[in-house]
Amino acid sequence: MRFLFDINHPAHVHYFKNCIRLLEQKGHETVITTRNRYPAIELLEAIGEEYVDRGTGADSVFGKLLYMPVADARIARVAAKFKPDVFVSFSTPYPSQVATLFRRPAVVFTDTENARLHRYFTFPFSRTICTPACFRKDLGEKHLRFDGYMELSYLHPRYFTPDPSVLDLLGVEKGEPYIIMRFVSWKANHDIGHAGISLENKVEAMRKFGKYGKVFITSEAGLPEGLNAARITIPPHRMHDALAFASLLYGEGATMASEAAVLGTPAIFVNDGWTGYTAEEEERYGLVFNFGESSLQQQASIAKGVELLSADHTKDDWAGKRKKLLREKIDVTAFMAWFLENYPSSESEMRRDPDCLDCFRETVVE
């Protein structure tokens, strides 16, 4: 079979890279189209994947609408030559629209309940929509659920082992505590109307957390001089190594909060747009702590960070919570590869037997 994968965000590289490798190992053919947004291309090149650049896209709603026919045309040119059997994306409208034009199915993965703009322009053109079981909306007859998180598609221990050499890049000793702070650009379609953590509270959080270890900041937006000095400078593909050995992740991004959680690092997520997966990672596993964007909630989130850093927790304590999570969730990459390779009969099997995915819930690899 032939599969066209579209990358609209750097995180999507991670979601699909292992699935692409498994499919290729089984003799299937793949092609990748990608938005030229840092560091998506850098990540693709770091793992040695070829790609077709479909342009930089836009951040404003109006700009996104203007870019849509441009992206559709560029993906259509690739599809006309490659002739994919299935189009695959993480809730990106362009490949689903092109799939309809070519009369081919589009399989969409998503875990973001409030991505309304993409939902309007993607789901009507998609054949199947796959979400984590904890997704808090019912998407109708096209909707299928799997008991896992997208972050497990690349951070499950079968596919990722943290490399401690990142500590040398960070300039910290083994066992030395450090904190990662993550700030987003607020330009994604699901971020419209959000403001995030105030500059005053970012500075306060950095000052208070700095009493317990070095603070490193990763930010999609520019930073003032006082914060920019702490900007992390490691290569983008080493960020997961850094997260694995961190004492705390504090920030505005749901994906990185969940990444920290599945790696056994406690995460504080400050965002009014809570997701089903970050909520479950708090309620069921105690690895994420969710807060809103109000002034009081921001102050509470900083206080929670200080509490976690000052408590007598060890990495082993959090590792125990992570083991519980890994025991209960499926191998998402193995599921995705099986689902796509056997599509559409795999869809029928999931609807007929909701327990058919238990075969992907195996003994945790340490």
Domains of the chain by residue range: 2-148+331-360, 166-326
Contact yes or no for 6/92 (Cβ under 8 A): yes
Domain 2-148+331-360 and domain 166-326 have a common topology:
yes
Quote the tokens at residue 308.
């976690």
Average pLDDT for residues 166-177, to the nearest whole number? 97
* pLDDT tens, position by position, 213-244: 999 999 988 888 889 999 999 999 999 999 99
Count of all residues that appear for the chain in the document: 366
How far apart (Å, rounded) are the C-alpha atoms in residues 292 and 219?
A: 19
Quote the tokens at residue 330.
């499926």
Task: Specify the fold of 2-148+331-360.
Answer: Rossmann fold (3.40.50)
Long-range contacts, stretch 310-316, CB < 8 angstroms, 24+ apart: 310/212, 313/266, 315/264
Q: What is the CATH number of domain 166-326?
A: 3.40.50.2000
pLDDT at residue 190, as a whole number: 45
* pLDDT tens, position by position, 83-121: 999 999 999 999 999 999 999 999 999 999 988 888 899
The predicted model scores a pTM of: 0.94
* pLDDT tens, position by position, 71-85: 999 999 999 999 999
Q: How many CB atoms lie within 10 A of CB 48?
A: 7
Of 27, 28, 82, whose CA–CA distance to 52 is shortest?
Answer: 82
